[in-house]
Amino acid sequence: MGSIMVAGGAGYIGSHCLWLLRQRGHDAFAFDNLAEGHCQAVLDADLVEGSLSDFDLVKRTLKERDVEAVFHFAASCYVGVSVTDPSSYYENNVATTLKLLDAMRAADVGTFIFSSTCATYGNPVQQYMDEQHPQWPINPYGWTKFMVERILSDYRAAYGMKYVCLRYFNAAGAHPEGIIGEHHDPETHLIPLVIHAAQGKRENIKVFGDDYDTPDGTCIRDYIHILDLSEAHILGLEHLNQGGESAAFNLGNGAGYSVMEVIKMVEKVVGKPINVEVVGRRAGDPARLVGNSACAQEVLGWKQNYGDLETIIETAWRWHEEHSEGF
Protein backbone atom coordinates (compact mmCIF):
# COMPACT_ATOMS: atom_id res chain seq x y z
CA MET A 1 0.00 0.00 0.00
CA GLY A 2 1.40 3.38 -1.00
CA SER A 3 1.03 6.68 0.77
CA ILE A 4 -1.66 9.35 0.50
CA MET A 5 -0.90 12.94 -0.43
CA VAL A 6 -3.30 15.42 1.15
CA ALA A 7 -3.11 18.55 -0.99
CA GLY A 8 -4.18 21.45 1.20
CA GLY A 9 -3.48 19.30 4.25
CA ALA A 10 -2.66 22.35 6.38
CA GLY A 11 -6.11 23.87 5.85
CA TYR A 12 -9.29 23.44 7.85
CA ILE A 13 -10.83 20.42 6.14
CA GLY A 14 -7.56 18.95 4.86
CA SER A 15 -5.94 18.89 8.30
CA HIS A 16 -8.87 17.03 9.85
CA CYS A 17 -8.86 14.49 7.04
CA LEU A 18 -5.08 14.11 7.32
CA TRP A 19 -5.44 13.45 11.06
CA LEU A 20 -8.17 10.85 10.49
CA LEU A 21 -6.22 9.09 7.73
CA ARG A 22 -3.22 8.72 10.01
CA GLN A 23 -5.45 7.64 12.87
CA ARG A 24 -6.64 4.84 10.59
CA GLY A 25 -3.09 3.72 9.92
CA HIS A 26 -2.60 5.32 6.50
CA ASP A 27 0.79 6.73 5.60
CA ALA A 28 -0.48 10.23 4.79
CA PHE A 29 1.34 13.55 4.43
CA ALA A 30 0.40 17.12 3.61
CA PHE A 31 1.32 19.12 0.52
CA ASP A 32 0.54 22.79 1.07
CA ASN A 33 1.82 26.22 0.06
CA LEU A 34 0.75 27.62 3.46
CA ALA A 35 -0.97 30.55 1.73
CA GLU A 36 -4.10 29.89 3.78
CA GLY A 37 -3.10 26.83 5.78
CA HIS A 38 -1.16 26.62 9.04
CA CYS A 39 1.88 24.40 9.45
CA GLN A 40 0.78 23.59 13.04
CA ALA A 41 -2.42 22.03 11.67
CA VAL A 42 -0.59 19.01 10.24
CA LEU A 43 0.49 18.05 13.80
CA ASP A 44 3.30 15.48 13.47
CA ALA A 45 2.59 14.50 9.85
CA ASP A 46 5.12 15.36 7.15
CA LEU A 47 4.52 18.59 5.29
CA VAL A 48 5.85 19.19 1.79
CA GLU A 49 5.75 22.94 1.32
CA GLY A 50 5.31 23.98 -2.29
CA SER A 51 2.98 24.90 -5.08
CA LEU A 52 0.69 22.36 -6.73
CA SER A 53 1.38 24.14 -10.00
CA ASP A 54 5.06 23.16 -9.69
CA PHE A 55 4.72 20.13 -11.98
CA ASP A 56 8.23 18.79 -11.35
CA LEU A 57 7.99 19.06 -7.57
CA VAL A 58 4.56 17.42 -7.50
CA LYS A 59 5.61 14.60 -9.83
CA ARG A 60 8.79 13.99 -7.88
CA THR A 61 6.90 14.01 -4.56
CA LEU A 62 4.33 11.54 -5.88
CA LYS A 63 7.04 9.19 -7.10
CA GLU A 64 9.46 9.47 -4.19
CA ARG A 65 6.72 8.96 -1.63
CA ASP A 66 5.08 6.13 -3.53
CA VAL A 67 1.71 7.90 -3.51
CA GLU A 68 -1.33 5.75 -4.34
CA ALA A 69 -4.02 8.44 -4.03
CA VAL A 70 -4.35 12.21 -3.79
CA PHE A 71 -6.94 13.92 -1.59
CA HIS A 72 -7.36 17.44 -2.93
CA PHE A 73 -8.51 20.21 -0.58
CA ALA A 74 -6.28 23.04 -1.76
CA ALA A 75 -8.48 25.80 -3.14
CA SER A 76 -9.49 29.40 -2.67
CA CYS A 77 -12.86 29.36 -0.94
CA TYR A 78 -14.28 32.87 -0.50
CA VAL A 79 -17.39 33.16 -2.64
CA GLY A 80 -17.35 36.98 -2.49
CA VAL A 81 -13.72 37.29 -3.59
CA SER A 82 -14.37 34.88 -6.45
CA VAL A 83 -16.89 37.41 -7.78
CA THR A 84 -14.50 40.39 -7.61
CA ASP A 85 -11.32 38.47 -8.56
CA PRO A 86 -12.39 35.52 -10.73
CA SER A 87 -8.95 35.35 -12.38
CA SER A 88 -7.19 34.14 -9.23
CA TYR A 89 -10.02 31.65 -8.55
CA TYR A 90 -9.88 30.06 -11.99
CA GLU A 91 -6.09 30.03 -11.76
CA ASN A 92 -5.88 28.57 -8.29
CA ASN A 93 -8.83 26.19 -8.35
CA VAL A 94 -8.94 25.07 -11.98
CA ALA A 95 -5.56 25.64 -13.68
CA THR A 96 -3.61 24.43 -10.65
CA THR A 97 -5.81 21.36 -10.27
CA LEU A 98 -5.22 20.56 -13.94
CA LYS A 99 -1.46 20.72 -13.31
CA LEU A 100 -1.86 18.44 -10.31
CA LEU A 101 -3.88 15.92 -12.32
CA ASP A 102 -1.29 15.92 -15.09
CA ALA A 103 1.53 15.44 -12.58
CA MET A 104 -0.48 12.48 -11.24
CA ARG A 105 -0.75 11.02 -14.75
CA ALA A 106 2.99 11.48 -15.24
CA ALA A 107 3.65 9.69 -11.94
CA ASP A 108 1.08 6.95 -12.59
CA VAL A 109 -1.16 7.89 -9.68
CA GLY A 110 -4.73 7.15 -10.69
CA THR A 111 -6.94 7.82 -7.66
CA PHE A 112 -8.30 11.24 -6.74
CA ILE A 113 -10.60 12.31 -3.89
CA PHE A 114 -11.92 15.78 -4.57
CA SER A 115 -13.30 18.41 -2.23
CA SER A 116 -16.29 19.75 -4.12
CA THR A 117 -19.26 21.74 -2.94
CA CYS A 118 -23.01 22.17 -3.01
CA ALA A 119 -22.19 25.54 -4.61
CA THR A 120 -21.92 23.56 -7.87
CA TYR A 121 -25.75 23.29 -7.80
CA GLY A 122 -26.55 26.99 -7.69
CA ASN A 123 -30.05 28.03 -6.69
CA PRO A 124 -32.03 25.09 -5.28
CA VAL A 125 -34.97 23.81 -7.31
CA GLN A 126 -35.86 21.08 -4.81
CA GLN A 127 -36.14 20.97 -1.00
CA TYR A 128 -33.58 18.29 -0.28
CA MET A 129 -30.96 18.57 -2.99
CA ASP A 130 -29.67 15.24 -4.27
CA GLU A 131 -26.86 14.54 -6.74
CA GLN A 132 -29.24 14.74 -9.70
CA HIS A 133 -30.09 18.34 -8.92
CA PRO A 134 -29.13 20.53 -11.92
CA GLN A 135 -25.65 22.05 -11.65
CA TRP A 136 -25.66 25.71 -12.59
CA PRO A 137 -23.48 27.64 -10.14
CA ILE A 138 -24.27 31.27 -9.28
CA ASN A 139 -20.72 32.46 -8.58
CA PRO A 140 -17.20 31.84 -9.94
CA TYR A 141 -16.23 29.78 -6.89
CA GLY A 142 -19.00 27.29 -7.68
CA TRP A 143 -17.99 27.25 -11.35
CA THR A 144 -14.37 26.45 -10.50
CA LYS A 145 -15.44 23.38 -8.54
CA PHE A 146 -17.94 22.40 -11.21
CA MET A 147 -15.24 22.64 -13.90
CA VAL A 148 -12.95 20.33 -11.95
CA GLU A 149 -15.81 17.83 -11.68
CA ARG A 150 -16.18 17.97 -15.48
CA ILE A 151 -12.43 17.59 -15.98
CA LEU A 152 -12.44 14.54 -13.73
CA SER A 153 -15.21 12.93 -15.71
CA ASP A 154 -13.23 13.45 -18.93
CA TYR A 155 -10.00 12.21 -17.33
CA ARG A 156 -11.84 9.13 -16.17
CA ALA A 157 -13.06 8.41 -19.70
CA ALA A 158 -9.77 9.16 -21.46
CA TYR A 159 -7.08 8.17 -18.95
CA GLY A 160 -8.89 5.86 -16.54
CA MET A 161 -8.39 8.18 -13.57
CA LYS A 162 -10.66 7.10 -10.74
CA TYR A 163 -12.28 9.77 -8.61
CA VAL A 164 -14.79 10.56 -5.93
CA CYS A 165 -16.16 14.11 -5.68
CA LEU A 166 -17.63 15.07 -2.34
CA ARG A 167 -20.07 17.94 -2.49
CA TYR A 168 -20.14 19.50 0.95
CA PHE A 169 -22.87 21.54 2.44
CA ASN A 170 -21.63 23.66 5.42
CA ALA A 171 -18.48 22.18 6.97
CA ALA A 172 -18.35 23.05 10.66
CA GLY A 173 -17.03 21.98 14.07
CA ALA A 174 -13.56 20.86 15.08
CA HIS A 175 -11.56 17.92 16.34
CA PRO A 176 -13.36 16.77 19.54
CA GLU A 177 -10.23 17.18 21.69
CA GLY A 178 -9.67 20.66 20.31
CA ILE A 179 -6.21 19.94 18.88
CA ILE A 180 -7.07 21.31 15.42
CA GLY A 181 -9.91 23.53 14.27
CA GLU A 182 -11.11 26.29 12.01
CA HIS A 183 -8.86 29.31 11.55
CA HIS A 184 -9.60 31.47 8.52
CA ASP A 185 -8.31 34.94 7.98
CA PRO A 186 -10.59 36.74 7.35
CA GLU A 187 -13.32 34.63 8.93
CA THR A 188 -16.65 34.81 7.10
CA HIS A 189 -18.47 31.68 8.29
CA LEU A 190 -21.41 31.86 10.63
CA ILE A 191 -20.44 29.48 13.45
CA PRO A 192 -16.93 30.85 14.13
CA LEU A 193 -18.26 34.41 13.90
CA VAL A 194 -21.02 33.71 16.44
CA ILE A 195 -18.36 32.17 18.70
CA HIS A 196 -16.17 35.27 18.27
CA ALA A 197 -19.17 37.36 19.34
CA ALA A 198 -19.63 35.13 22.41
CA GLN A 199 -15.94 35.56 23.23
CA GLY A 200 -16.23 39.35 22.99
CA LYS A 201 -13.85 39.43 20.01
CA ARG A 202 -16.54 41.23 18.04
CA GLU A 203 -19.33 43.44 19.23
CA ASN A 204 -22.16 41.34 17.82
CA ILE A 205 -23.19 38.88 15.16
CA LYS A 206 -24.81 40.40 12.12
CA VAL A 207 -27.70 38.34 10.79
CA PHE A 208 -27.92 38.72 7.03
CA GLY A 209 -31.67 39.12 6.62
CA ASP A 210 -34.64 37.96 8.68
CA ASP A 211 -37.26 38.33 5.97
CA TYR A 212 -36.68 35.03 4.13
CA ASP A 213 -39.49 32.57 3.54
CA THR A 214 -38.43 30.30 6.42
CA PRO A 215 -40.09 29.70 9.83
CA ASP A 216 -38.04 32.36 11.66
CA GLY A 217 -37.18 34.42 8.57
CA THR A 218 -33.43 33.63 8.64
CA CYS A 219 -31.57 31.42 6.16
CA ILE A 220 -31.44 27.68 6.66
CA ARG A 221 -28.20 25.77 6.03
CA ASP A 222 -27.07 22.18 6.43
CA TYR A 223 -24.14 22.04 8.89
CA ILE A 224 -21.98 18.96 8.81
CA HIS A 225 -19.21 18.01 11.23
CA ILE A 226 -15.69 18.13 9.88
CA LEU A 227 -14.82 14.62 11.08
CA ASP A 228 -17.96 13.18 9.49
CA LEU A 229 -16.83 14.87 6.27
CA SER A 230 -13.34 13.44 6.67
CA GLU A 231 -14.73 9.97 7.24
CA ALA A 232 -16.58 10.12 3.92
CA HIS A 233 -13.31 10.85 2.07
CA ILE A 234 -11.73 7.72 3.49
CA LEU A 235 -14.82 5.70 2.57
CA GLY A 236 -14.58 7.20 -0.92
CA LEU A 237 -11.03 5.86 -1.23
CA GLU A 238 -12.09 2.42 -0.01
CA HIS A 239 -14.99 2.47 -2.47
CA LEU A 240 -12.61 3.07 -5.40
CA ASN A 241 -10.08 0.54 -4.09
CA GLN A 242 -12.82 -2.07 -3.99
CA GLY A 243 -13.64 -1.42 -7.64
CA GLY A 244 -16.51 1.03 -7.06
CA GLU A 245 -17.53 3.48 -9.79
CA SER A 246 -16.17 7.01 -9.89
CA ALA A 247 -18.96 9.31 -8.72
CA ALA A 248 -20.03 12.43 -6.86
CA PHE A 249 -21.70 12.31 -3.44
CA ASN A 250 -23.42 14.93 -1.33
CA LEU A 251 -22.27 15.33 2.24
CA GLY A 252 -24.78 17.04 4.44
CA ASN A 253 -26.62 16.49 7.63
CA GLY A 254 -30.03 16.40 6.03
CA ALA A 255 -31.22 18.61 8.89
CA GLY A 256 -31.27 22.30 8.17
CA TYR A 257 -30.77 24.91 10.88
CA SER A 258 -31.60 28.59 10.63
CA VAL A 259 -29.11 31.33 11.44
CA MET A 260 -31.14 32.12 14.58
CA GLU A 261 -31.13 28.45 15.64
CA VAL A 262 -27.34 28.42 15.33
CA ILE A 263 -27.05 31.55 17.45
CA LYS A 264 -29.39 30.09 20.10
CA MET A 265 -27.37 26.89 20.19
CA VAL A 266 -24.12 28.81 20.69
CA GLU A 267 -25.81 30.71 23.54
CA LYS A 268 -26.80 27.38 25.09
CA VAL A 269 -23.34 25.82 24.73
CA VAL A 270 -21.51 28.91 25.96
CA GLY A 271 -24.07 29.78 28.61
CA LYS A 272 -24.45 33.47 27.87
CA PRO A 273 -26.47 35.76 25.60
CA ILE A 274 -25.01 37.03 22.33
CA ASN A 275 -25.64 40.46 20.81
CA VAL A 276 -27.47 40.09 17.52
CA GLU A 277 -27.94 42.77 14.89
CA VAL A 278 -30.20 42.07 11.93
CA VAL A 279 -28.83 43.67 8.77
CA GLY A 280 -29.71 43.38 5.08
CA ARG A 281 -29.51 40.20 3.05
CA ARG A 282 -26.12 39.09 1.68
CA ALA A 283 -26.11 38.94 -2.11
CA GLY A 284 -26.49 35.46 -3.54
CA ASP A 285 -27.83 33.75 -0.39
CA PRO A 286 -30.68 31.29 -1.12
CA ALA A 287 -33.23 30.97 1.71
CA ARG A 288 -32.64 27.27 2.20
CA LEU A 289 -29.84 24.84 1.26
CA VAL A 290 -30.25 21.34 2.61
CA GLY A 291 -28.73 18.23 1.12
CA ASN A 292 -29.91 14.69 0.61
CA SER A 293 -26.93 12.45 1.40
CA ALA A 294 -28.70 9.10 0.97
CA CYS A 295 -26.34 8.17 -1.83
CA ALA A 296 -23.22 8.49 0.38
CA GLN A 297 -24.99 6.40 3.01
CA GLU A 298 -26.05 3.68 0.60
CA VAL A 299 -23.02 3.48 -1.68
CA LEU A 300 -20.19 4.42 0.68
CA GLY A 301 -21.77 3.14 3.89
CA TRP A 302 -21.30 6.61 5.38
CA LYS A 303 -22.95 7.57 8.65
CA GLN A 304 -22.56 10.53 10.90
CA ASN A 305 -21.06 10.30 14.36
CA TYR A 306 -21.04 14.00 15.24
CA GLY A 307 -24.19 15.03 13.41
CA ASP A 308 -26.24 17.08 15.85
CA LEU A 309 -25.83 20.84 15.95
CA GLU A 310 -24.97 20.84 19.65
CA THR A 311 -21.95 18.55 19.12
CA ILE A 312 -20.84 20.58 16.12
CA ILE A 313 -20.93 23.76 18.18
CA GLU A 314 -19.43 22.22 21.33
CA THR A 315 -16.39 21.00 19.38
CA ALA A 316 -16.02 24.36 17.61
CA TRP A 317 -16.33 26.17 20.94
CA ARG A 318 -13.65 24.00 22.58
CA TRP A 319 -11.21 24.75 19.78
CA HIS A 320 -11.87 28.49 19.91
CA GLU A 321 -11.64 28.59 23.71
CA GLU A 322 -8.33 26.73 23.78
CA HIS A 323 -6.86 28.58 20.79
CA SER A 324 -8.24 32.07 21.14
CA GLU A 325 -5.63 33.36 18.65
CA GLY A 326 -6.03 30.40 16.31
CA PHE A 327 -2.93 28.38 15.48
- The residues of the shown chain that bind ligand UDP, judged by CB under 6 A, are 170, 188-190, 193, 205-208, 219, 221, 259, 282, 285
Closer Cβ to ligand UDP, 112 or 317, answer by number: 317
Nearest residue to ligand UDP, using CB? 219
Q: Which is nearer to ligand UDP, 33 or 170 (CB)?
A: 170
198, 276 Cβ separation under 8 angstroms: no
Q: Angle 68-74-79 (CA atoms, 0-180°, nearest 5)?
A: 145
CB nearer to ligand UDP: give 54 or 285.
285
Asked about 141 being catalytic, the answer comes back as yes
* Least CB distance to ligand UDP at residue 234 (A): 24
Q: Give me the least distance between CB of 205 and ligand UDP, in Å please.
A: 6
Q: Which is closer to ligand UDP, CB of 61 or CB of 115?
A: 115
* Alpha-carbon dihedral angle through residues 58, 60, 61, 62, given to the nearest 10 degrees: 80
Give whichever of 174 and 207 is closer to ligand UDP, judged by the CB atom: 207
By CB atoms closer than 10 A (0-12, 13-18, 19+), residue 255 is: middle
Least distance (Å) from ligand UDP to the CB of residue 140?
A: 15
- How far apart are CB 171 and ligand UDP at their closest, in Å? 9
The DSSP bridge pattern shows strands 220-221 and 257-258 to be antiparallel
Spatial contact of 107 and 47, defined as CB atoms under 8 Å apart: no
SS3 content of the chain, % helix, strand, coil (to 5): 40, 20, 40
Q: Minimum distance from CB of 216 to ligand UDP (Å)?
A: 12
Q: Is 286 exposed, middle or buried (0-12, 13-18, 19+ CB in 10 A)?
A: middle
Rounded to a whole number of angstroms, the minimum distance from the CB of residue 252 to ligand UDP is 11
Which of 12, 89, 121, 141 is catalytic? The answer is 141
CB half-sphere exposure, 139, CA atoms < 13 A = 18
Sequence-separated (6 or more) residues with CB below 8 Å from residue 146: 120, 135, 137
Q: Which is nearer to ligand UDP, 66 or 203 (CB)?
A: 203
The Cβ of residue 23 has, within 10 Å, a number of other Cβ atoms equal to: 12
Query: What number of CA atoms fall less than 13 Å from residue 206's CA on the CB side?
Result: 8
**Residues 50 and 64 sit within 8 Å (Cβ to Cβ):** no
* Catalytic center residues: 141
